[in-house]
Amino acid sequence: MNRVEGRVKVTGLATYAAEYPVEAVAYAYPVQSLVAKGRIVRVHDAEAREMPGVLAVLSCEDPPRLAEDADAELALFQSRDVAYRGQIVAAVVAGTYENARAAAAAVRVEYDPDDHDVALRSDHPGFYRPDVVNPDYPSDTVKGDVEAGLAGAAASVDVTYSTPVLHNNPMEPHAAVAVWDPEGRLLVYDSTQGASPDRDTIAQTFGLPREDVRVVSRHVGGGFGAKGSTRPHAVLAALAARAAGRPVKIALTRQQMFDVTGYRTPTIQRLRLGADAGGRLTAVEHVAYEQSSTLVEFAEQTATPARVMYATPALRTAHRLVRLDVATPSWMRAPGECPGMYALESAMDELACALGMDPVELRVVNDADAEPEGGLPFSSRNLVMCLREGARRFGWRHRDPEPGVRREGEWLVGTGVAASTYPARRRPARAFAFVRDGDYVVQVAAADIGTGARTALVRIAADALGVPPDQVHVELGDSDLPEAPVAGGSMGTASWGSAVVRACEELKRGDGKEGRADTTDEVGNDARLARHAFGAQFAEVRVSSVTGEVRVPRLLGVFAAGRIVDPQLARSQFIGGMTMGLGMALMEETLTDEEFGGFLRRDLAQYHVPACADVPHVEAVWLDEQDGELNPMGSKGIGEIGIVGTAAAIGNAVHHATGHRVRDLPLTPVKILSRF
């Protein structure tokens, strides 16, 4: 289906957070810390206060009132301690954006700086075991005897991979407009992936009852996780509006987004795999080393895919975290699965090479009939079919496994494969369906962050009602609508869709006029099963022996993700994820500034994401997977699985092309060239 909001988007009529026309709006501009660690001695703001149009200056000199249990990244101006370079330490509110920005530049913050520690390194003495990893998985798991499994293996690998700091970089910068009414109720137009949870967090931060806060977010220009949790800009807009006594707008610059909207932790991952002569795994160990801030513990679940992927008698997974003087990492495009599967699937390729075995076959012989950690049966698992179908379509059987032997002029050619996986979860949601002017209106506080969620829900509702899609209107992106969970974890459509279907069924069952649903009980009663989508990705690469440049003429992904709600939207999701995976493989990288703290390369001219020329042929197909244990649609989330495995497939293809294994992303010409 074409997107129902396609026309308003391409004609510029879709209203994004910063674009809501609000009378008498003022502007806030943040002042960011110039030290990575230390204490604020004094905020000198006298000059700024005298500048044209300035309405207020916010800082720790006069801390605005916030709830004591506010999240430390959101508790703006409550402390004199600086936790990272770029942290918001003051803000200026003025009648125009330009005046706010000019005055912000005149605020001088005096620091008592401390020595900072911003670099993740494998020998850091500060590593510890977090209690849980995102969102609530155990940090470590052990099954069987890994050492014995490795000792008895016919072939084994012991390899370490690393991935850099990555930033989500949605097209639409984070923005908010905050409006307080005379009764002390707060309205925030925010760029968020979830109006309901954003409303809850803002209410909690300000110590307000949640009925007194409303978040509106009808169109969002991408999020990828960066808008999944409430970010400081929304709190700042509300604080500034309260201080100025006027509505206040804030729109972050691209550079500010790098500092305060979250990022993917860099990772160092050690993989130890052993297999018998037939390729069956005898041991798997995956240990991930990651960072968080001193403010908040965020532990990415990087080693968790090994708990799902392959049958093995011995399995150990572990996460170690170190708290550095950096911003808090957060959700980004398949947190956990994405960096973890890069390492696991690269190591599987290395194991295949060590065994002299085809990498597709290695994965096939290690397919699991129950979850390797915990032993839960799968609701459905079609990894092998994805691998087989992908191999057929890609022409894999013609592949010569010998690395570094195919040359076209200066270009070395190779192919690689990797598996994909992502959990298929759902959360409780509510929905309301009713008849208006002969059409059907469906309300749910879902978020469409560019995924096509609005369109998918139209289709789901139309199917449930048995009416054409053009008779269904979906209203979302407003916390005053029936409560719904975040567009994250690839569970938006499954969660919202469940509630929408139930509301539509209720409407049909009742008077035909309206129906309400709350899926809390239904979701709570879901059978205990392992629910995951799976996939296989195949990449062809060309590597210049002159320059070390890597190009990817062909990417193929085959996915088994339950019933596909809408082929057109699904294809966009899959190839979008794969394109991001290609970016991760070849170019995406934020540098940490070890001298000053904070990040370097904070714009899109320096932080490269793929251009059209990088993705000449990305193809995604899917199996017809039937799974009755998921939700009324029979669907698994498809927002994130596309990025899982892409980087490994490309890295494995680079090895096949060149004979060299680069274990540190991104695979830039610099790293490739040093191997020739």
Partner 1 sequence: MKRFEYARAGSPSDAVRRFRPGTMYLGGGTNLVDLMRLGVAEPDLLVDVSRLPLDVIEPVGDRLRVGAAVRNTDLAADPLVRTRYAMLARAVLDGASGQVRNMATVAGNLLQRTRCAYFQDVSRPCNKRRPGSGCPAIEGDHGNLAVLGASDACVATHPSDMAVALAALDAEVHVTGPGGDRIIPMPGLHRLPGDEPERDTVLEPGDLITAVELPAPPPGASTYRKVRERASFAFALVSIAASLDVGSDGVVSGCRIALGSVAHVPWRAERAERLLIGGPATGAAFLEAAEAELDQARPLPRNAYKLPLARNLIVATLEELAP
Residues at the interface with partner 1 (CB under 8 A)? 32, 34, 98, 101-102, 105, 255, 410, 546-551, 586-587, 591, 593-596, 600-603, 605-606, 608, 610-614, 666, 668-670, 673-674, 676
The smaller minimum CB distance to partner 1, of residues 108 and 473, is found at 108
Q: How far is the CB of 331 from partner 1 (least distance, A)?
A: 25
The smaller minimum CB distance to partner 1, of residues 527 and 613, is found at 613
Residue 113's SS3 state is strand
585 close to 643: Cβ distance less than 8 angstroms: no
| CA 538/CA 645 separation, integer angstroms | 9
Angle subtended by helix axes 492-509 and 453-465, to nearest 10: 30
Q: How far is the CB of 82 from partner 1 (least distance, A)?
A: 14
Q: How far is the CB of 586 from partner 1 (least distance, A)?
A: 6
Q: What sign does the CA torsion over 207, 208, 209, 213 have?
A: negative
**Spatial CA neighbour of 581 closest among 448, 447, 422:** 422
| CA 651/CA 666 separation, integer angstroms | 9
Residue 361's SS3 state is helix
The smaller minimum CB distance to partner 1, of residues 138 and 669, is found at 669
The smaller minimum CB distance to partner 1, of residues 70 and 600, is found at 600
The smaller minimum CB distance to partner 1, of residues 258 and 310, is found at 258
Query: Which residue matches tokens 């060309």?
Result: 542
Helices (H), 209-336: 232-244, 254-260
Which tokens in the block code for residue 252? 């972050």
Provide the residue type at 332 as one letter. M
Direct distance between the N- and C-terminal alpha carbons of the chain, in angstroms, rounded to an integer: 48
Q: How far is the CB of 572 from partner 1 (least distance, A)?
A: 21
89 close to 38: Cβ distance less than 8 angstroms: no
The smaller minimum CB distance to partner 1, of residues 173 and 562, is found at 173
Query: DSSP letters of 631-676?
Result: -TT-B---SSGGGTTHHHHHHHHHHHHHS----BSS--HHHHHTT-
Residue 337 backbone dihedrals phi, psi, to 5 degrees = -60, -40
The number of C-alpha atoms within 13 Å of 342 and in the hemisphere containing its C-beta is: 34
| CA 362/CA 350 separation, integer angstroms | 11
Among 290, 350, 540, 640, which one carries the catalytic annotation?
640
The smaller minimum CB distance to partner 1, of residues 86 and 247, is found at 86
Q: How far is the CB of 53 from partner 1 (least distance, A)?
A: 12
Query: Which residue matches tokens 């943040």?
Result: 30
Active site annotation includes 183: no
**Spatial CA neighbour of 338 closest among 289, 286, 300, 385:** 300
Query: What single-letter DSSP state applies at residue 74?
Result: T
Q: How far is the CB of 421 from partner 1 (least distance, A)?
A: 28
Q: How far is the CB of 668 from partner 1 (least distance, A)?
A: 5
- How many Cβ atoms from other residues are within 10 Å of residue 577's Cβ? 32
Taking only Cα atoms into account, the Rg of the chain, rounded to an integer number of angstroms, comes to 25
The smaller minimum CB distance to partner 1, of residues 161 and 607, is found at 607
Q: How far is the CB of 333 from partner 1 (least distance, A)?
A: 18
- Kindly list the catalytic residues: 640
